[in-house]
């Protein structure tokens, strides 16, 4: 029983970076743009998120404030990178796949370079501590699993219904869904397709930046070149896996993270199982699930990946 | 621009000119329409009708010219400006978002319902009810667009346009996807609406133009070639003005050929993309040297039938006997080699490889044949000669044979496909919507070619929604409804009325 509680209480905070990044990516894709540069924005977010508390407030009494500043800076730069990406693929209509890979390499490379310049070696920060919820965290089983995490974990899961509401119940969400599915229809009814795509990419970028800063401030509490470790790409895959729906995306993020927690637990328990295979487990699981999940043409953004040009005659 | 409720008593465009790279799409066009009038804008494909309307709606900016409403000049920088002035357009390709509901689609343009944090769908719903009541248009606000038939989608487009406050309607080929009954209903509806609104109606179906419009303007190559009152001119006059020459769509007047059955389909069951049975125990026999027209509203299994015969879709059970061989579930390669010719529904995506050159597309089915390849190499000289010969024989208008096939016009793409299929000397031909979207000149040419190969003894299955096309060419007419053949009629028994009733699913005449 303890073993299971361990996996669950470890897996849930693991899922947060993926959850935030893939909800951001969901807004991108719902608007018709897939951003493979998510990984790069996360790397920048991770570096900037930890840079603020490391350089001005290391270990000081008000480090909570600096953490917030770090998260904020990560989100602002993430949004700017999203807008930059929009400039390339929306305004100039560059192919999204290639441009995304470019952004990924740019982000990861720049973050690593700046890290060596400003911080240098391996340095840890106090980061964001756990905030057990009074009362609830004392409940056996449920307490340690659900109510003994840092504040971002709670906020990330609260963001799931909020993202659903934004996407399906607000005028902005309606516009996002329309420009990703039939931009010509949206245009004919007076919606500025490219403007909505810029907005969605800014939101997606901000969330990717936040996800990266979560890793460096709350999960690992340090920065290294490999901190993102492919999570940006997994986030893109989870959006497909979750059929562009926040709740299903949350399911995917949890599935992946629990598999990761499981493999760590297997290693920790000293069970005689080659650890190389254990490490592979979550990735293999994503591939299998993606291979067997049926594509749903009826619900997804059917203009995903296509740039919009009003005067191009069809 | 402020939203006005003012009536549009007069709309005038003056000297509109619009150039696209290499094309003069609108050439100094001037036209005028007053309150309560219905203007038919007629012309062949590429004549510039849709471009002109897109300019009127603020989707394109004209290079020269101006637009006047009630005598005052207006500038439409985006569709929002045109809506605000009271103009609304129903596009030929419906501008609806398939994965959203009717309500959401209308809310998309209904800015009054956009409070920042919440979409006021109830307000939109009230507006829909109001419009539906006023004009007698019923729609289900909560249905998803993908669940609706083409006719229903068009009604949604009309309701949408009216909900957004249109007092001047532009309809771009509104009947191109409708059944005959739906077309009749639409015409009645538009006539009633014209007491309150002005309508510009784009079409190249001359009967509807006669039935509906007060005034007619004919465009050719982007310029106005004729203006006049509809009742003073006959459909054949209009057709001649539209194409620039006398048009005479060919008719199949030969006696029914007594060939042997060559394609014999027995209790065929095939599933659709969504997994339900699209063909349900379908039986149909076609002989050599006859054209069987398959009439039906699209979505009743036509696509699945054509694809399963050509090996592109799995047959659940049943037989397709082709010259004595069961070709059900054989590979497309095998079926092509057995002598099947196919003009597919989607000419741009299934009929050609758009990025390949015209000459490559012309040998696409014969890349392994000795005629065009030796060892592992293509015989370029033979390929060039083949293309040059076919270009002349099939009157394909292209600058050269190396041009990307996708850059040709729809009519010329269809001629490339037809040339490839016919020059391979098939034993049978399946032609799916062969003239859909083509102008009269190209349609005439394609119909003549089909009649010619019929004369040579080739059987043809002609799948179409155009009753005129089916009635002009067929020896027998089969009506498909919900994946079954309702009835097969001899040419003498088939007419618009009898087919329309069968297409709507009524099996015997007694009920009507």
d(CA A306, CA A90): 9
Contact A299 B99 (CB under 8 A): yes
d(CA B41, CA B173): 10
Residue B388 sits in the same domain as residue B266: no
Contact B79 A169 (CB under 8 A): no
Residue B321 sits in the same domain as residue B308: yes
Does residue B499 sit within a domain?
yes
d(CA B382, CA B388): 10
Does residue B508 sit within a domain?
yes
Identify the domain containing residue B118 by its residue range: 10-243
Q: What ipTM does this complex have?
A: 0.86
Of all residues in chain B, the percent with pLDDT exceeding 90 is: 46
State the pLDDT at residue B512: 41
DSSP letters spanning B368-419: TSTTTEETTEE-HHHHHHHHHHHHHHTT---S-TTSBGGGS-HHHHHHHHHH
Residue of A nearest to B60 (CA): A311
Query: Pick from A170, A175, A300: which is nearest to B118 by CB?
Result: A170
What's the gap in Å between the CA of B120 and the closest CA on chain A? 9
d(CA B169, CA B162): 8
Residue B112 sits in the same domain as residue B76: yes
**Number of domains chain B is built from:** 3
| Chain B residues touching A170 at Cβ < 8 A | 116-119
Does residue B84 sit within a domain?
yes
Contact between A35 and A201 (Cβ < 8 Å): yes
State the pLDDT at residue A62: 63
Low-confidence ranges of chain A (pLDDT < 70): 57-62, 293-298, 312-314
Contact A171 B146 (CB under 8 A): no
State the pLDDT at residue A58: 61
Residue B239 sits in the same domain as residue B272: no
Strands lying side by side in the sheet with B261-271 = B277-287, B261-271, B315-322, B325-326
Residue B121 sits in the same domain as residue B80: yes
Residue B322 sits in the same domain as residue B358: no
Model pTM score: 0.79
Residue of A nearest to B94 (CA): A185
Contact between A178 and B108 (Cβ < 8 Å): yes
A239: nearest Cα among A9, A31, A89? A31
Residue B344 sits in the same domain as residue B331: no
State the pLDDT at residue A60: 60
Does residue B437 sit within a domain?
no
Domain boundaries, chain A: 17-229
- Over its C-alpha atoms, chain A yields an Rg (Å, rounded) of 20
Residue B182 sits in the same domain as residue B135: yes
- Each of the 512 residues of chain B gets a pLDDT tens digit; together they read 344 567 788 899 999 998 877 678 888 999 999 888 999 998 877 778 888 988 999 988 999 999 999 989 999 988 889 988 899 999 888 899 988 999 999 999 898 889 888 899 999 999 999 998 888 888 899 999 988 877 888 889 999 999 988 889 999 888 877 777 788 888 888 888 888 889 999 887 778 888 889 999 998 888 898 888 988 888 778 878 877 776 677 888 777 767 889 999 999 999 987 778 899 999 999 999 999 999 988 788 999 999 999 999 999 999 999 999 999 999 999 999 999 999 998 888 889 998 899 999 999 998 888 889 888 889 999 999 999 999 999 988 888 899 888 888 778 899 999 999 999 999 999 999 998 877 777 888 899 999 999 999 999 999 988 888 899 999 999 999 989 999 999 988 888 888 888 887 777 654 44
State the pLDDT at residue A38: 97
d(CA A213, CA A67): 9
Contact B79 A175 (CB under 8 A): no
d(CA A14, CA B336): 55
Give the residue from B399, B425, B451 where a domain finishes: B425
Contact B78 A170 (CB under 8 A): no
Residue B93 sits in the same domain as residue B199: yes
Residue B132 sits in the same domain as residue B212: yes
| Chain B residues touching A184 at Cβ < 8 A | 93, 95
Residue B372 sits in the same domain as residue B482: no
Query: Pick from A189, A299, A300: which is nearest to B108 by CB?
Result: A189
State the pLDDT at residue A268: 79
Interface of B with A (CB under 8 A): 20, 57, 59-60, 78-80, 83, 89, 91, 93-100, 104-105, 107-109, 113-119, 144, 146, 160, 164
Residue B298, classed as helix, strand or coil, is coil
Task: Kindly report, residue by residue over B382-409, the tens digit of the pLDDT.
Answer: 999 999 999 999 988 888 899 888 888 7
State the pLDDT at residue B276: 84
Residue B86 sits in the same domain as residue B162: yes
Contact between B47 and B221 (Cβ < 8 Å): yes
Contact B99 A298 (CB under 8 A): yes
HSE at residue B304, side-chain half, CA atoms within 13 A, is 27
Residue A57's contacts (CB-CB under 8 Å, 6 or more residues apart) are: A63, A65, A66
User: In the numeric block, which tokens belong to residue B110?
Assistant: 């209904």
N residues, chain A: 314
Query: Pick from B59, B89, B118: which is nearest to A310 by CB?
Result: B59
State the pLDDT at residue B175: 81
Give the residue from B243, B268, B298 where a domain finishes: B243
Query: Pick from B60, B79, B94: which is nearest to A190 by CB?
Result: B79
DSSP letters spanning B68-130: EETTEEE--SSHHHHHHTTEEEE-SS----TTSBHHHHHHTT-GGGEETTEE-HHHHHHHHHH
What b/e readout covers B277-286, taking b as 16+ CB neighbours within 10 angstroms? bbbbebebbb
DSSP letter assigned to residue A306: -
Give me the CATH number covering residue B306.
3.40.50.300
Classify residue B375 by burial, with Cβ atoms within 10 Å: 0-12, 13-18, 19+.
exposed
């Amino acid at each position: 029983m303890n073993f299971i509680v361990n996996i669950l209480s470890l897996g849930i905070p693991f899922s947060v970076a993926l959850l935030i990044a893939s909800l951001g990516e969901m807004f991108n894709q719902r608007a018709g743009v897939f951003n493979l540069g998510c990984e790069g924005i996360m790397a920048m977010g991770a570096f900037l998120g930890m840079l603020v508390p490391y350089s001005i407030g290391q270990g000081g009494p008000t480090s909570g404030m600096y953490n917030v500043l770090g998260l904020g800076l990560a989100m602002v730069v993430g949004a700017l990178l999203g807008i930059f990406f929009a400039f390339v693929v929306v305004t100039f209509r560059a192919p999204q796949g290639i441009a995304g890979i470019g952004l990924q390499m740019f982000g990861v490379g720049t973050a690593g370079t700046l890290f060596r310049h400003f911080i240098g070696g391996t340095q840890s920060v106090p980061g964001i501590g756990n905030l057990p919820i009074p009362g609830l965290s004392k409940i056996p089983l449920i307490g340690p699993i659900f109510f003994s995490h840092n504040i971002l974990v709670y906020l990330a899961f609260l963001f799931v219904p909020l993202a659903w509401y934004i996407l399906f119940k607000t005028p902005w969400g309606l516009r996002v869904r329309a420009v990703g599915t039939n931009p010509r229809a949206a245009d004919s009814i007076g919606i500025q397709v490219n403007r909505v795509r810029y907005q969605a990419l800014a939101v997606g970028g901000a969330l990717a930046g936040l996800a990266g800063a979560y890793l460096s401030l709350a999960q690992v509490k340090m920065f290294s070149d490999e901190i993102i470790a492919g999570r940006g790409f997994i986030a893109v895959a989870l959006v497909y896996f979750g059929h562009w729906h926040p709740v299903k995306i949350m399911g995917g993020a949890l599935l992946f993270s629990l598999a990761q927690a499981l493999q760590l637990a297997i290693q920790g328990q000293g069970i005689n199982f080659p650890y190389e295979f254990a490490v592979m487990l979550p990735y293999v699981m994503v591939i299998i699930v993606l291979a067997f999940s049926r594509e749903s043409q009826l619900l997804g953004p059917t203009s995903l990946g296509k740039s919009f040009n009003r005067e191009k005659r069809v | 621009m402020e939203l006005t409720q003012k009536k549009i008593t007069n709309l005038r465009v003056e000297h509109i000119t619009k150039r696209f790279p290499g094309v003069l799409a609108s050439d100094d066009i001037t036209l005028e329409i007053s309150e309560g009038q219905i203007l038919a804008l007629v012309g062949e494909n590429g004549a510039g009708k849709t471009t002109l309307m897109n300019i009127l709606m603020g989707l394109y900016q004209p290079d020269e010219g101006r637009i006047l409403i009630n005598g005052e000049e207006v500038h439409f920088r985006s569709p929002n400006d045109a809506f605000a002035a009271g103009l609304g357009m129903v596009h030929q390709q419906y501008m609806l978002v398939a994965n959203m509901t009717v309500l959401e689609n209308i809310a998309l343009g209904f800015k009054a319902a956009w409070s920042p944090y919440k979409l006021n769908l109830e307000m939109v719903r009230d507006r829909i009810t109001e419009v539906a009541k006023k004009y007698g248009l019923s729609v289900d606000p909560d249905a998803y667009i993908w669940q609706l038939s083409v006719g229903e989608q068009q009604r949604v487009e009309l309701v949408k346009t009216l909900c957004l406050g249109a007092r001047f309607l532009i309809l771009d080929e509104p009947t191109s996807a409708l059944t005959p009954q739906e077309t009749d209903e639409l015409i009645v509806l538009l006539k009633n609406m014209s007491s309150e609104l002005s309508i510009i109606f784009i079409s190249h179906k001359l009967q509807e133009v006669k039935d509906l419009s007060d005034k007619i303007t004919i465009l050719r190559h982007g310029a106005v070639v004729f203006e006049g009152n509809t009742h003073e001119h006959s459909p054949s006059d209009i057709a001649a003005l539209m194409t620039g020459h006398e048009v005479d769509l060919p008719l199949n007047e030969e006696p029914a050929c007594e060939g042997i059955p060559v394609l014999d389909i027995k209790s065929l069951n095939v599933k659709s993309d969504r997994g339900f049975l699209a063909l349900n125990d379908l039986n149909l026999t076609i002989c050599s040297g006859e054209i069987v027209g398959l009439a039906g509203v699209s979505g009743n299994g036509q696509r699945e039938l054509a694809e399963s015969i050509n090996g592109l879709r799995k047959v659940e059970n049943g037989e397709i006997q082709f010259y004595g061989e069961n070709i059900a579930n054989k590979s497309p390669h095998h079926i092509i080699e057995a002598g099947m010719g196919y003009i597919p529904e989607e000419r741009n995506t299934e009929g050609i490889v758009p990025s390949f050159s015209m000459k490559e597309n012309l040998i696409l089915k014969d890349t392994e044949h000795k005629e065009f390849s030796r060892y592992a190499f293509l015989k370029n000289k033979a390929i060039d000669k083949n293309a040059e010969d076919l270009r002349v024989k099939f009157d394909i208008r292209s600058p050269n044979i190396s041009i990307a096939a996708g850059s040709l016009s729809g009519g010329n793409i269809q001629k490339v496909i037809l040339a490839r299929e016919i020059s391979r000397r098939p034993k049978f031909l399946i032609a799916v919507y062969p003239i859909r979207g083509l102008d009269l000149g190209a349609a005439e040419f394609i119909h003549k070619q089909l009649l010619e190969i019929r004369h040579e003894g080739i059987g043809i299955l002609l799948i179409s929604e155009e009753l005129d096309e089916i009635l002009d060419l067929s020896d027998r007419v089969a009506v498909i409804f919900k994946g079954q053949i309702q009835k097969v009629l001899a040419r003498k028994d088939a007419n618009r009325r009898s087919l329309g009733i069968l297409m709507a699913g009524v099996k015997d005449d007694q009920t009507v």
